[in-house]
Structure 1
Amino acid sequence: MKKIFPLLFSFLGVFSFSQQVVSLETIFNDKISIRALEVYDNKVWYSGTDSKFGFVDIKNPQEQKQIKLSEKKLQFRTLAQNKDAFYAINIESPAEFFKISKKDLTFKIVFRDTVKTAFYDALHFVNNELAYTFSDADKDNHLKLAVFKNGKWSNFKNNISLNEGEAAFAASNTNIASSKKYLWIATGGKASRILRMNLKNENIEVFNTPFVQGESSQGMYSIDFYDDKFGVAVGGDYTKQADNINNIATTNDGGKTWRVQASGKNAGYTTCVKIKPGSKGKEIISVGDQHISYSSDFGKTWKKISDEKGFFVCQWIDGNTIVFAGKDKISIMELKL
């Protein structure tokens, strides 16, 4: 079922596009779509289609394990962790919240959302004791969140209303981000806005953005924040992936205002963005179904460093190593920066 491929230093993806890229190695193959991953214990952990959950060791890819969380063919596009467990939620209704023990990979369902419109787009742990997950709204168009607090999940009550056609994209489990002070949620569709929660008092503010929006396929797909102030958002239109107008933006005031960057001068539709740890936001990697791109100037300009296709989500492992996952594969990129 799984195959391990040797080092890919190939003309298909990387060699001809940037001397920064040292290698791109595929460490895992399977018939699966992966849109959420975590790094823990020197392993890449993933959830995906057909109820699949598992890991592959970064340094020794032959060491891997996969389990099925359900006999049903569930689609998982969320995955998050605290010190004891991983959590994953399937996208269809009923939405079932799975808790998977890090100790022995035993799992159980700890919460259910049986509303027909339940569709959880992202799941994010602020710390070991606090997590939030965001679902598309019900018919009342109220913001729909669930919160993990005091060891259990519950619905999070609020009075925020979304616009008609405003939702989110379960593209890479990265339309939620947090800092010590704030939690941010990026919406998309006919409206693409930033919702910012003060973690101390749980007050939520809503900010408009200049991001491409107005159609159900448009808007922000992914956000990341370095601290309470600097953040980056990427997205576009998945039905017009070459379009690159108003699909990247940055903020320097915690999400209140956003400045469009590299409009018309980037590789197009993008599903995941990650700031390099320790870079203060200067170095950023992003990935879309048709490209991998890199910025070394706080997101102002971007360089396509790979034409490798089929990746949806990425994560920094260290300052020179990034893991990518997507259609049928997990790969590791080494950069020389």
Structure 2
Amino acid sequence: MKNIVFLFCVSILFLACGEEKQMAFTSVKATAIHHDSISIRAIVLDSNELWFAGSNGKFGAIELLTTKKFRGRINKDSLHPEFRSIAKTKDAVFLLSVANPGLLYKISNDRKVVELVYEENNEKVFYDSMQFLDNQFGVAMGDPVGNCLNIIVTKDGGNSWQKIPCTSLPKVEEGEAAFAASNSNVVLRNNKIFIVSGGKKSRCFVSEDSGVTWNVYETPIVQGKTMTGIFTADFYDENIGFIAGGDYENQENNSDNKAITNDGGKTWKLVGQNTGFGYASCVQFVPNSKGKALVCVGGTGLHYSSDSGKTWLKMLDDKDLYTLRFKNDSVAYAAGKNRVVELKFGR
């Protein structure tokens, strides 16, 4: 009997510890770790280092333990590209510019070699987002050049990139494009690729075989105007995903701007109607939250949800944070207008 009671008490203790770990955030402390005259919409974390890319050709890296910084700047002829996409493999960092010409650079880990690995010249070129699944396979997407989204892939670690032809992709609707708000239009989970669009049509494009075949699914996010739709997406795993956005020209409107999927993007359900944030620039799942906890930054501040987006707590009024990535389940980094900040969440 004593053994049974002991085991029961130990079980209760473990359950209590588990519940404590899943307790909701109640506060956040924001500390600026980098200042510069730069608009940053793309960051990537690698161990204890944060890389960023932004406007006017600027990019850099911050050692998170020492805050030691490296700053670089790229120019092509007289052009200083605007970078809104960044990705990292074990060997290099990749920066992708937005407008014509589309320029994709590979930067060695020691920062000594900067190589242009892809260039696209077309007046309609506008790349929005880029992600790597592992050290070999990566995807970048942009606004339509023809009658499909502009998607390029690499299978050799970013040394070469190939365009997926429109004959292999779903056709876009009139006025359908994407937003380069926070490098979160593309999400890769195992063999699945998720891509979200915005504008007059706002949908979710899904490939379950690394880009060979595609399906496209409707979403209930507000759409119909040039500056409406999905601005950001994240997937906790292959099934649980969250999209957010809204109307950039009416940033206080918090209806029809957030939705969740539990079936890998096939169907979406609006959540948090008329509550929480308005226009969203970036949304991310909190690690180890079982897909329940989310943090969003955008035009109405930083908001947090612990119940899959049903309700939201405003934690910061800061409207100038554009992108966000988590280091672990209580520390994240955000960037935006002229700075990078560390966010420490408290329970």
TM-score by length of 2: 0.88
User: Quick one: distance in 1 between partners of 2:115 and 2:85?
Assistant: 16
Contact 2:185 2:196 in 1 (8 A): yes
Return the match for 2:163 from 150, 155, 162.
155
- The CA deviation at 1:104 is 3.3
Q: 1:19 to 1:229 in 2, by over 3 A?
A: closer
Task: Tell me, yes or no, if structure 1 residue 100 matches structure 2 residue 107.
Answer: yes
- Counterpart CA distance in 1 for 2:223 and 2:161 is 32
Q: 2:219 aligns with which of 205, 209, 213?
A: 209
Q: In the alignment, is the contact (CA less than 8 A) between 1:34 and 1:326 conserved in 2?
A: yes
CA distance in 1, matches of 2:337, 2:344: 20
Would the aligned equivalents of 1:289 and 1:309 in 2 still touch at CA under 8 Å?
A: yes
2:35 is aligned with 1:29: yes
Contact 2:149 2:177 (8 Å CA) reproduced: no
**Cα separation, 1, equivalents of 2:137 and 2:43:** 19
153-162 or 29-38: bigger deviation? 153-162
Matched residue SS, 2:280: coil
| Deviates most, 149-158 or 261-270 | 149-158
Task: Please state whether the residue corresponding to 1:271 is helix, strand or coil.
Answer: strand
Q: Does 1:20 align with 2:30?
A: no
Matched, 1:81 2:88: yes
Matched, 1:328 2:338: yes
> CA separation of 1:210/1:320 partners in 2, compared to 1, >3 Å: closer, same or farther?
same
Larger Rg: 2
Deviates further, 199-208 or 22-31: 199-208
Partner Cα separation in structure 1 for residue 65 and residue 53 of structure 2: 20
Change in Cα spacing, 1:22 to 1:237, as seen in structure 2 (3 Å) is closer
Q: Which residue of 1 aligns with 2:5?
A: none
Ranges in structure 2 where 5+ consecutive residues have no aligned partner:
1-23
> How many residues are treated as equivalent by the alignment?
318
- Report SS of the residue matched to 1:315: strand
Deviations 1:136-171 (A, max 9, x none): 112x32222111113421111224210000000000
How far, CA to CA, are the matches of 1:262 and 1:289 in structure 2?
A: 17
Superposed displacement of residue 60, structure 1: 2.3
- 2:12 paired residue number: none
Check whether the contact 2:254–2:277 (CA below 8 A) recurs between aligned residues: yes
Q: Secondary structure at the match of 2:83?
A: coil
SS in 2 for 1:79: strand
Relative distance call for 1:70 and 1:181 in structure 2 (3 A) is same
CA distance in 1: counterparts of 2:118 and 2:215, whole angstroms: 27
Q: Deviations over 1:13-64 (max 9, x none)?
A: xxxxx98224210111100000000112412210001100101222322x10
Identity %: 33
- 1:273 aligned to 277, 283, 295, which one? 283
Superposition RMSD on alpha carbons, in Å? 1.5
Superposition map of 1:192-271 within 5 A: 192-199=202-209, 202-271=212-281
The amino acid across from 1:242 in the alignment is: E
TM-score normalized by the length of structure 1: 0.91
2:278–2:299 Cα contact (<8 Å) kept? no
Alignment equivalent of 1:38, drawn from 37, 41, 44: 44
Query: Equivalent residues in 2 for 1:161-180 (5 A)?
Result: 161-180=171-190
Alignment partners' CA distance in 1, 2:210 and 2:117: 26
Match for residue 75 of structure 2?
70
Q: Residue type of the partner of 2:155? A: K
Instruction: State how far apart, in whole Å, the 2-side matches of 1:104 and 1:54 are.
Output: 9
| Structure 1 position 130, deviation (Å) | 0.6
Query: CA shift at 1:173, angstroms?
Result: 0.4
**Structure 1 pair 143–303 and aligned structure 2 pair: CA distance change class (3 A):** same
Q: What are the ranges of 5 or more consecutive residues in structure 1 without an aligned counterpart?
A: 1-17
Tell me which residue corresponds to 1:116: 123
Instruction: State the alpha-carbon separation in 2 of the partners of residues 302 and 232 from structure 1.
Output: 14
